Amino acid sequence: MPIADRVAVRLRVNGEEMAVMVAPYKTLLEVLREDLGLTGTKHGCELGECSTCGVLVDGRPYLSCLAMPLDLEGREITTVEGMAHGSDPDPLQVAFAELGAAQCGYCTPAMLLTARALLDRDPHPTRDAIKEALSGVLCRCTGYLKIFEAVELAASRGRRHG
Amino acid sequence: MADELAIVGKSLTKPDAFAKVSGQTRFADDLALPRMLFGRILRSPHPHARIVGVDTSRARALPGVLAVLTGDDLPIKFGILPVSQDEEALAREKVRYVGDPVAAVAATDEWIADEALDLIEVEFTQLPPIMSIEQAIAADAEPIHGASNVHKAVALEFGDTDEAMRAAQHVREDVVFFEGNTHLPMEQHAALAQYGADGKLTLWTSSQTPHYVHRALGKVLELPMSRIRVIATPNGGGFGGKSDIFSHELVAARLAIVTGRPVKITLTREEVFYAHRGRHPVLMRVKTGLTRDGRITAMQFRSFLDGGGYGSYGVASTYYTGALQATTYAIPRYRFEALRVFTNKPPCGPKRGHGTPQPRFALETHFDKVAEELGLDPVELRLRNLPRPDSRTVNWLRITSCGLEACINKVVEGSGFLERRRSMPRGRGLGFAVSSYLSGAGTAIYWNDMPHSEVQLKLDRNGGVALLCGAIDIGQGSDHILAAIVAEVLGVALEDIQLTTADTDLTPIDLGSYSSRVTFMAGNAAKAAAEKVRAQLFEAVARALPCDVDDLVARDRRIVRRNRPEEGVSFTQAVQLVEAGGGVVTATGSYTPPKLAGPYKGSGVGPSPAYSFSAAVVEVDCDVSTGEVRVPEVWIAHDIGRAINPVLVEGQVEGSVYMALGEALMEEQTFRLGLHKFPSLLEYKSPTALEAPVMHTYLVETIDREGPFGAKEAGQGPLLPVIPAVANAVYNALGVRIDEIPITPDKVLKAMADRSKRVGPASTPAFEFPPLIKAEIPEEWKGK
Ligand code: FES
Ligand code: FES
């Protein structure tokens, strides 16, 4: 599309104000990956079917492939790049790494963020609550078990530091 | 003490884990280059049609479009197997399935590229679509390639099976069907090509087989391979679906050459369904003769594979449907006939278990029925027909270690199978099955005498170890395996190993992440290289200390005397001693499988340096009113040889069980009027976290004498027994036989309502197979 038709979008991502000029029909997924260089957010369908593109908006899971950036001005967007505190990983990230919960790692960013939202809401979820919370995020590698165990391990280690 | 393993056998965090959990791993579509263009591919809307003409003039005129390609721009045919060079990057004369690539564009953004596709006008003459095996072999069938739709027909016999059948005290025959399904990796395939001013082409691609892509690029683009660099990016899941050569890889490369700018093509999810190369639909007939006490005397097996529009790995898939029957059971006489046909569907190929989950379903449900007829329990029937360690099967496959009996015992005891299956309430049931699988194909895809895996190590005064290998991590953990083996041999820590993988400019050859070969083959190559480095270090340290070379051990980042550990040097000092003597410290290691093929045509598919074995018990909970089958619990045991990293092996086993349950209960790739019914993640059903069962995983270690530290495969074998175990459990629960995968609720209800208490095919098509090739059988089977 002609550059003249682009619109200015201001987003708050991982606590940082960011501004870009983008085509107005670009999704949040595309703006994050292509305009802001945040390629940690993945995609598996771009149609709202797999949750691979999941990010957090104001702490709640959100499908970035269906979200329009202009609607999210002023909201707090968190991507996987924003999970660690400096070089100190989130306890979920540590648990996923230790237990082999990231095989290919492609679903991992969305799994981690979805699990983060769960633990923030319910610090000691039951197995069923974990299954329920993660049920929208597809993983083809792990059979989900190591993911459940990693969420439980992170929960047992307590809240994020920092 | 000194000989205890420090790293191998431990559940350590794999080297790429933290990059993955932080979103730093760069998958193919995460890459972008300055001036990059976006490529898109126009695909056939027809299952079978002749291309009359392609008009690209309107697309070329669209502002922002830099190139448009049609078939004539890439006229050289290719294919993964030398015997099946039947694909074109963009179809020239005919299209053979909905989704077959026809034309391509490169534009400054994806929206312009999409618009340009709409402006390409293709004139087709439609041909009758061939959508089933029966249609393909009908006398008046329109041929999809050449003169007939027979792609491959095989007829082999090992010993006189007719005679053995006649002599058998019990004979049973079954006909079953396994519907096709697809890999569904979460990452869509993507490729980025760059053609430099120096005339060198670089392709980054989410491929399991960069070496084969490299060869195909050289052939189709007519460039010397030395001017092409292929870099495989970490795969966001593969499962066999990224182990072929794909149109978009060749097209991105050509577009980059034509435009002089980098070009990226990322497939949409719908296109991934068309790229496919997944599980073949297979119709099978199995007939077994046994003694009254349940010893197999002969088997005759027939398979009919629905191959889709192109050859792909199909010749190998065809042989695989018959190869591993005799590695799972001691079968004294064996006949195998198979037919693969072309149909107007996306090409089928290798999916986890390549060509063996279908016959495994056939055999394991068949033997469940045989056991019942003989009044044996299904476990006892297996125990009476176990393959033996250190033996040859009647079709010449060499078995080294075999832990099948131990696997059976683990799951049977763990689940309480024998007692509980008799007392389950209606609707609940337990099923049992066994399997075996290869640890790497014993022969290469193209005929050559060179190693299948090569590893190079480079060390210098800094004390780190650079490890270079062509293997690509697709999530299975191959990076960890390589690093762990080298760290173990050299007595250093995992983090001392710096990996460079799957870059054809830098890394020595590894044939790829397919056929469960990387741990065994690249692992052996890594071990060989590390041992050569260690020998150099020991020699220098022995001279410096001085002491006898045989007196030294490498551990805890030191090289010390075995019984006087205070006498020694640090690892870094040892490297410096060697470097001072002769410069940079390097060594290479390689692995070539032993020559294992038997003395008959077709013996190249099936041999492997070692086989893994698995056994599973599955519990089902069936809703008698809806026909829905749930799986609350699974017990699975796997003979891994040795677990180099138990947590990673468990992950492979659990992932295999998951994938098997998807195939058993819901996943299917089916068509209506030539169109794929479900080319989307929403409609193609796959299991979610809610369906995940409780899994009990048992690793059985048999320490294979040829595996690296005794290791065998884990990535594919554990999928195999689970699918038939589900079917057998449904029978235990409801008394119905669903002889057709997937076991969907409608089939369960139908079987319950039908007097036969069965759903499944009645017969196999009449087809005249070629005359049997009667192979010599190994000495140990003669007279048995
Ligand atoms: S990419 Fe699949 S839901 Fe967004
Ligand atoms: S780890 Fe590969 S999709 Fe989840």
HSE (CB half, 13 Å, CA atoms) of B108? 8
The model carries a pTM of 0.97
Sort out which chain B residues have CB atoms less than 8 A from A144's CB and list them: 658, 689, 692
Sort out which chain A residues have CB atoms less than 8 A from B109's CB and list them: 1
Contact B688 A81 (CB under 8 A): no
- Spatial distance between the Cα atoms of B43 and B265, rounded to a whole number of angstroms: 14
- Spatial distance between the Cα atoms of B408 and B131, rounded to a whole number of angstroms: 40
C-alpha to C-alpha distances, B673 to B143, B150, B347, B677, nearest whole angstrom: 18, 22, 17, 9
The phi, psi pair for B168, rounded to 5°, reads -70, 150
**pLDDT at site B2:** 44
Which residue would you say has higher pLDDT here, B258 or A158?
A: B258
Instruction: Compute the count of residue pairs across chains A and B with CB atoms less than 8 Å apart.
Output: 172
Give how far the C-alpha of residue A4 lies from the chain's centroid of Cα atoms, to the nearest Å. 32
Contact B504, B511 (CB under 8 A): no
Sort out which chain A residues have CB atoms less than 8 A from B187's CB and list them: 42, 44, 104, 106
- Spatial distance between the Cα atoms of A127 and A112, rounded to a whole number of angstroms: 16
- Which residues lie across from B194 on neighbouring strands? B202
Count other C-beta atoms under 10 Å from residue B17's C-beta: 26
With CA atoms as reference, report the closest residue to B478 among B446, B450, B453, B457.
Answer: B453
Indicate whether residue B686 lines ligand 2 (CB < 6 A). Answer: no
Count other C-beta atoms under 10 Å from residue B416's C-beta: 13
Contact B465, B587 (CB under 8 A): no
- Spatial distance between the Cα atoms of B437 and B611, rounded to a whole number of angstroms: 5
**pLDDT at site A158:** 83
The phi, psi pair for B232, rounded to 5°, reads -80, 130
Contact B253, B337 (CB under 8 A): no
- Ligand 2 pocket mutation, candidates B16, B20, B186, criterion most atoms within 8 A of CB: B186
- Ligand 2 pocket mutation, candidates A106, A134, A145, A148, criterion most atoms within 8 A of CB: A106
CA A29 to centroid of ligand 2, rounded, Å: 19
With CA atoms as reference, report the closest residue to B377 among B617, B697, B726.
Answer: B617
- Spatial distance between the Cα atoms of B725 and B511, rounded to a whole number of angstroms: 33
- As to burial, measured by CB atoms within 10 angstroms (0-12 exposed, 13-18 middle, 19+ buried), residue B490 is buried
Q: Please name the helix (run of DSSP H) or strand (run of DSSP E) that holds residue B485, with its range, or none.
A: helix B478-490
Contact B654 A47 (CB under 8 A): no
Reading the block at residue A85, the tokens are 């505190």
* Dihedral of the alpha carbons of B569, B572, B575, B581, in degrees to the nearest 10: -80
- Spatial distance between the Cα atoms of B48 and B309, rounded to a whole number of angstroms: 9
| Probe site for chain B from A140, A144, A151 (most B CB atoms < 10 A) | A140
With CA atoms as reference, report the closest residue to B59 among B93, B125, B104, B95.
Answer: B104
CA A137 to centroid of ligand 1, rounded, Å: 9
Query: Which residue, judged by its Cα, is nearest atom 3 of ligand 1?
Result: A48
- Spatial distance between the Cα atoms of B85 and B102, rounded to a whole number of angstroms: 18
Asked if this assembly's ipTM is beyond 0.90, the reply is yes
CATH 3.30.365.10 residue spans of chain B = 155-182+278-442+598-774, 451-591
- Which residues lie across from B617 on neighbouring strands? B432, B635
The phi, psi pair for B154, rounded to 5°, reads -130, 140
The phi, psi pair for B219, rounded to 5°, reads -70, -50
DSSP assigned state of B404: H
Query: Which residues, given as ranges, of chain B have pLDDT below 50?
Result: 1-2
Query: Which residue, judged by its Cα, is nearest atom 4 of ligand 2?
Result: A139
- Spatial distance between the Cα atoms of B607 and B609, rounded to a whole number of angstroms: 7
Q: Which residue has the tokens 């940082």?
A: A16
Q: Please name the helix (run of DSSP H) or strand (run of DSSP E) that holds residue B60, with its range, or none.
A: helix B57-61
C-alpha to C-alpha distances, B227 to B222, B407, B540, nearest whole angstrom: 10, 49, 40
Residue type, A78: T
- Which residues lie across from B740 on neighbouring strands? B177
With CA atoms as reference, report the closest residue to B354 among B720, B742, B725, B613.
Answer: B720
> What sign results for the dihedral spanned by CA atoms B445, B446, B447, B451?
negative
- Give, in words, the CATH class of B35-127+183-275: alpha beta
Nearest-CB residue to B658 (from A94, A106, A143)? A143
- Spatial distance between the Cα atoms of B187 and B296, rounded to a whole number of angstroms: 44
Strand locations in B419-464, DSSP E?
Answer: 428-438, 453-459
Reading the block at residue B55, the tokens are 């008009």
Count other C-beta atoms under 10 Å from residue B14's C-beta: 26
Helices and strands (H, E) in chain A, number of each type: 5, 5
Give how far the C-alpha of residue B686 lies from the chain's centroid of Cα atoms, to the nearest Å. 19
Contact B41, B275 (CB under 8 A): no
The phi, psi pair for A147, rounded to 5°, reads -70, -45
Contact B27 A42 (CB under 8 A): yes
Domains and CATH numbers, chain A: 7-82 (3.10.20.30), 91-156 (1.10.150.120)
> What sign results for the dihedral spanned by CA atoms B520, B521, B523, B529?
positive
C-alpha to C-alpha distances, A35 to B15, B381, B454, B632, B674, nearest whole angstrom: 30, 62, 40, 45, 40
Reading the block at residue B603, the tokens are 């013996």
HSE (CB half, 13 Å, CA atoms) of B176? 28
CA distance B270 to chain A (A): 8
Contact B472, B417 (CB under 8 A): no
Query: Which residues have any ligand 1 atom within 6 Å of their CB?
Result: A 43-46, 48-53, 63, 65
Sort out which chain B residues have CB atoms less than 8 A from A130's CB and list them: 689
> Does residue A130 belong to the interface with chain B, where contact is any CB pair within 8 Å?
yes
- Spatial distance between the Cα atoms of A116 and B331, rounded to a whole number of angstroms: 54
**pLDDT at site B480:** 98
- Spatial distance between the Cα atoms of B28 and B320, rounded to a whole number of angstroms: 31
**pLDDT at site A1:** 59
Contact B618, B726 (CB under 8 A): yes
**pLDDT at site B16:** 97
DSSP helix/strand/coil, B358? helix
Sort out which chain B residues have CB atoms less than 8 A from A44's CB and list them: 186-188, 269, 681
CATH 3.90.1170.50 residue spans of chain B = 35-127+183-275
Reading the block at residue B656, the tokens are 């295999």
With CA atoms as reference, report the closest residue to A140 among B644, B719, B642.
Answer: B719
In the CATH hierarchy, which fold is given to the domain comprising B155-182+278-442+598-774? Aldehyde Oxidoreductase; domain 4 (3.30.365)
- Give, in words, the CATH class of B451-591: alpha beta
Cβ-Cβ contacts under 8 Å for B271 (sequence gap 6 or more):
B41, B43, B99, B188, B189
CA B207 to centroid of ligand 1, rounded, Å: 22
- Which residues lie across from B695 on neighbouring strands? B634
- Spatial distance between the Cα atoms of B347 and B313, rounded to a whole number of angstroms: 9
Sort out which chain B residues have CB atoms less than 8 A from A140's CB and list them: 183-186, 237, 239, 655, 659, 686
Contact B185 A104 (CB under 8 A): yes
Q: Does B742 sit behind a cis peptide bond, omega within 30 degrees of 0 on the bond before it?
A: yes
DSSP assigned state of B510: B
- Spatial distance between the Cα atoms of B204 and A147, rounded to a whole number of angstroms: 30
CA distance A74 to chain B (A): 24
Indicate whether residue A112 lines ligand 2 (CB < 6 A). Answer: no
C-alpha to C-alpha distances, B237 to A90, B21, B185, B351, B636, nearest whole angstrom: 24, 15, 5, 12, 22
Residues A111-142: pLDDT tens digits? Answer: 999 999 999 999 999 999 999 999 999 999 99
